[in-house]
Chain A
């Protein structure tokens, strides 16, 4: 089984930090508006959010990364992920409808891409969230080639 690019840990850390910072700002605003007249301890609310964010950014992404793996097997794409709720998805090559490659701002900053494989079912969960940008393009072509090989000859 192949692992995701290790740089995705940095992307997830930044995502967690940015999200946590936004939550801390909102918490600070709400805490100040509702509690500052009664106590100065309202400052603890955003502090707790920031502490939780720091902890999540430190421990979360490496744990998620270590549980992520994928394999382009002979007859299907297999993905395995999840720390608490573990999921193992299998998408037969014959079911691939199309493959999307997307790059968010953080992905671009770290030279990564996200690869999503679509089938006729909206419930299919087949997304590789952090692969090298060049590798993503190679994977896309490889997946489509494997799909073509499942088609009847002629």
Chain B
């Protein structure tokens, strides 16, 4: 039966899709996934237990059982569109039935990993903001045409099925595209300072573990000249660039962000190709991140938080813009959250906030500095002084990062230290507000306002004047 014949359009408004299975490649893709999980135990069984009949049986039998389960799982997995809902029935031993009303679907993601591309299929993830940690419906795998047809149904245009990102879109406006060189810069500037230190520490620890003979052999090969030293540093720099830049290019290659009415569409990825569609009406928070390196280069990145429960850590959608020039921020914000653009100048927090940050940072600095200065004097004293100067610098940076402001129905709040984050949310997205104060905050005449949004982290205005925050949160009720 052809796809067209499967469409049931008898009743007006009851457009449906007859029950169908996933692509026949689905069990093979599942097997590849399982093989990755069981590879190490199976190899260990092969090498360690080849004399034991039971272990040999496990080695031979486990793949057969997994393959059988994959096949049965594929046979028992059916999806259909009926009565305005996407319905999935699945399960070999325990049967599961799930229905998602189509009008609740607001995040569709199409992923084509390497194994999908081998079979010419895609993985379609569908979310309705049900609060689960992963996608609520995961169709792995569908043929490209079937995925396009299903997406068309879910996007409410069953008569005009087409690819999620058309080759020459008319209605869609490209908002942003990022080239490979920019992605390399994104990778290089995204490494937090602490992570770099940790990486260096790991390298030093590894060097400590390596045999002395090996290190001597390597050192002997490097000529002790300026050119030799420069060559060594260049090698380290190239490895760093390859890792940091390479990872960024792999995950974001061909990044294109497009706007189509109330939808934003993103495609990216070199090996794992991802195509996402998000309903902008479900956007709750935009977070603009600036690491210290990016601030110096006048760059930043965006993370979009949506009502969707699926996606990355902290319930945050996987949608992100890996790199963006400061001059383009207002333009992109205008596309994603028009009422927020252009971003207003943020209000500076009271001097008491500066004192509080200094006290906190210097207290932590003292806890570290005093023992170092005491037990390892006289050199320790110098280290202790440096630690305290560093703590004071970090306190000043953290205070200067603090700021908040409003524009129409938008709340903007900025905080952080070496990594600074500006959060934008709209008052209609506020589910509740919490005004919190610790004893030390009350002593300093400060408080923190949390604006709770559906899913994910709240937006916080830290260490501000309580009276001002009370006025601010009235907007959450009146708007």
B and A form one assembly: yes
Contact of A89 with B434 in the complex, beta carbons under 8 Å = yes
Any A CB within 8 A of the CB of B236: no
Contact of B439 with A123 in the complex, beta carbons under 8 Å = no
B442 in complex: contacting residue of A86, A87, A92, A126, CB < 8 Å: A86
A92 to B474 Cα, complex, angstroms:
10
Q: Most A CB atoms within 10 A — which of B131, B439, B458, B477?
A: B477
Contacts A90-B476, A92-B477, A120-B454 known; A126 to B432 CB distance under 8 Å?
Answer: yes
List, in ascending order, chain B residues with CB within 8 A of A126's CB. 432
Any B CB within 8 A of the CB of A38: no
Instruction: List the A residue with the shortest CB-CB distance to B470.
Output: A88
B438 in complex: contacting residue of A84, A88, A92, A120, CB < 8 Å: A84
Any A CB within 8 A of the CB of B318: no
A61 to chain B, nearest CB (A): 20
Contact of B431 with A90 in the complex, beta carbons under 8 Å = no
B-contacting residues, A70-112, CB 8 Å = 75-76, 82, 84-92, 95
Any B CB within 8 A of the CB of A37: no
A89 to B452 Cα, complex, angstroms:
10
Against A, the Cβ 8 Å flags (1 = close, 0 = not) of B446-478 are: 000010111101100000000000000100111
Instruction: List the A residue with the shortest CB-CB distance to B427.
Output: A92
Any A CB within 8 A of the CB of B435: yes
Instruction: List the A residue with the shortest CB-CB distance to B448.
Output: A87
Any A CB within 8 A of the CB of B433: yes
Contact of B436 with A86 in the complex, beta carbons under 8 Å = yes
Judged by DSSP, the binding face of A is loop
Contact of B435 with A119 in the complex, beta carbons under 8 Å = no
Contact of B432 with A124 in the complex, beta carbons under 8 Å = yes
Contact of A121 with B455 in the complex, beta carbons under 8 Å = yes
A125 in complex: contacting residue of B430, B434, B438, B478, CB < 8 Å: B434
B285 to chain A, nearest CB (A): 11
Contact of A76 with B477 in the complex, beta carbons under 8 Å = yes
A88 to B435 Cα, complex, angstroms:
5
Contacts A76-B477, A90-B477 known; A121 to B436 CB distance under 8 Å?
Answer: no
List, in ascending order, chain A residues with CB within 8 A of B434's CB. 87-90, 123, 125
B458 in complex: contacting residue of A84, A120, A121, CB < 8 Å: A121
Interface size on A, residues (CB 8 A): 21
A85 to B436 Cα, complex, angstroms:
7
Contacts A86-B436, A86-B437 known; A121 to B453 CB distance under 8 Å?
Answer: yes
A119 to chain B, nearest CB (A): 4
Q: Most A CB atoms within 10 A — which of B434, B436, B473?
A: B434
Contact of A90 with B454 in the complex, beta carbons under 8 Å = no
Contacts A121-B431, A126-B432 known; A92 to B476 CB distance under 8 Å?
Answer: yes
A92 to chain B, nearest CB (A): 5
List, in ascending order, chain A residues with CB within 8 A of B86's CB. none
List, in ascending order, chain B residues with CB within 8 A of A87's CB. 434-436
A8 to chain B, nearest CB (A): 21
Contact of B454 with A121 in the complex, beta carbons under 8 Å = yes
A88 to B431 Cα, complex, angstroms:
14
Contact of B436 with A123 in the complex, beta carbons under 8 Å = no
A92 to B457 Cα, complex, angstroms:
19
List, in ascending order, chain B residues with CB within 8 A of A124's CB. 431-432, 452
Q: Most A CB atoms within 10 A — which of B438, B452, B478?
A: B452
A87 to B447 Cα, complex, angstroms:
10
Any A CB within 8 A of the CB of B292: no
Any A CB within 8 A of the CB of B307: yes
List, in ascending order, chain A residues with CB within 8 A of B437's CB. 85-86
A34 to chain B, nearest CB (A): 28
B-contacting residues, A104-140, CB 8 Å = 119-126
List, in ascending order, chain A residues with CB within 8 A of B436's CB. 82, 85-87
A125 to B434 Cα, complex, angstroms:
8
Contact of B439 with A92 in the complex, beta carbons under 8 Å = no
A86 to B446 Cα, complex, angstroms:
12
Contacts A75-B477, A121-B452, A123-B450 known; A89 to B432 CB distance under 8 Å?
Answer: yes
Closest 7 CB pairs of A and B: A121-B431, A120-B454, A121-B452, A119-B431, A123-B452, A124-B432, A91-B432
Task: Offer 16 A-B interface pairs, CB within 8 angstroms, sorted by A.
Answer: A75-B478, A84-B439, A85-B436, A85-B439, A86-B436, A90-B432, A90-B433, A90-B434, A92-B432, A92-B476, A95-B430, A119-B431, A119-B452, A121-B452, A123-B434, A125-B432
Instruction: Given contact pairs A84-B439, A121-B432, A123-B432, enumerate 12 new A-B contacts (beta carbons under 8 Å).
Output: A75-B478, A76-B477, A82-B436, A84-B438, A86-B442, A89-B433, A90-B434, A92-B430, A122-B131, A123-B431, A123-B452, A124-B452
